[in-house]
Amino acid sequence: MKNIAYYNGKTDAIENMQIPMNDRVCWFGDGVYDVTLSLNRKPYCYDAHVDRFYNSMRLLRIAPPMPKEEFKALVDGLAAKVDSPDQMLYFQATRGVAPRNHAFPDVGPSLWITVKPGGLKPIDRPLRVITVEDRRFSICNIKTLNLILNCMAEQEAVEAGVDTAVFIRDGFVTECAHSNVHIIKDGRIVTHPADQFILPGIARANMIRIAGRLGIPVDERPFTREELFGADEVFMTSTSTVCPRIVEVDGRPAGCAAPEIFFRLQKALLDDLFEATRAD
């Protein structure tokens, strides 16, 4: 198959699937999701993504549809039916199917899974970004389906002719529309702490781990928009892009002053990905 989708026990090609109108995702965006990259049929940081998915369900009080190992076996079985060995594995859980009512219904959750071809996005193209006000709620640590303000920020970036948007909350940088953002200053990486204002990115955690292995200090603290402009390097981390470099912020040149540190980190992150997903 070119791709496959799963919804509460039913499977078909993604474009053929239909979802009940009373699924609470339609009324309230009442659910959570996660996604990971799989190369050579080997999902990268699989356990970490599944753990975050189940933790997001816990934080929104959505009952898990099944134990983690059973869930992984289900995803693996679906992935095996897709022709491409390089895939994006997407999974989401909603509170279930029930007539529209704000209070939680007494029903079981709905589980969605999609598997489609996908690989690592180009990492050698420098990125240009804009800053936008972070008007989102204060539970950004939960990977919910309520992404309209992320979509609006991304559209603002598209209309500005740049790659993505960086959120600013009360003068401090939080994250990008769909990734984490970091700076390097005076030989140290600075990244916003994993609190309620950012998603605890798996790629972000991986970056911190590998920076430690390379002996690059990491400060988990808020940093300002002014620090963003004055940074030696600016970069993002995400599942599908790993560690691209940002060279322009709000039309002004940014970073590009500590290439030795940045490219050493980027190479180490890529090496870790390719080693973990190397074909047998």
Residue 266: which pLDDT band, with cuts at 50, 70 and 90?
A: very high
Residue 240 lies in a domain: yes
Which two three-digit tokens encode residue 108?
A: 């079981």
Q: CATH no. for residue 227?
A: 3.20.10.10
User: How do residues 221-263 score in pLDDT, each as one tens digit?
Assistant: 999 999 999 999 999 999 999 999 999 999 999 999 999 999 9
Residue 28 lies in a domain: yes
What's the predicted TM-score (pTM) here?
0.94
Question: What mean pLDDT do residues 67-74 have?
Answer: 98
The pLDDT assigned to 119 comes to 87
Q: What is the pLDDT of residues 84-140, one digit of tens each?
A: 999 999 999 999 999 999 999 999 999 999 999 998 888 888 999 999 999 999 999
Exposed (0-12), middle (13-18) or buried (19+): which is 98, by Cβ within 10 Å? middle
Whether residue 214 sits in one domain with residue 234: yes
User: Mean pLDDT over residues 77-83, rounded?
Assistant: 97
Domain CATH number, residue 33:
3.30.470.10
**Among 62, 93, 117, residue at a domain's last position:** 117
- 146-187 per-position pLDDT tens digit: 999 999 999 999 999 999 999 999 999 999 999 999 999 999
pLDDT in tens, 194-229: 999 999 999 999 999 999 999 999 999 999 999 999
pLDDT at site 47: 97
Instruction: Please give the Cα distance from 228 to 120 (Å, whole number).
Output: 26
**Is residue 105 located within the same domain as residue 232?**
no
Instruction: Please indicate, yes or no, whether residues 72 and 181 belong to a single structural domain of this protein.
Output: no
In the sheet that holds 10-12, the strands lie side by side as 10-12, 4-7, 110-117, 87-94, 31-39, 42-43
Assigned domain for 122 exists: no
Domain tally, the chain: 2
Residue 143 designated active-site: yes
Asked if 84 and 202 sit in the same domain, the reply is: no
Per-residue pLDDT tens for 4-59? 999 999 999 999 999 999 999 999 999 999 999 999 999 999 999 999 999 999 99
CB atoms within 10 A of CB 55: 16
- Ranges of H-type helices in 60-132: 68-79
Q: Quick one: average pLDDT of 66-70?
A: 97
Residue 223 structural domain: 127-276
| Residue ending a domain, choose from 98, 117, 136 | 117
Q: Which of 81, 143, 185, 267 is catalytic?
A: 143
- Sign of the Cα torsion 38, 42, 47, 53 reads positive
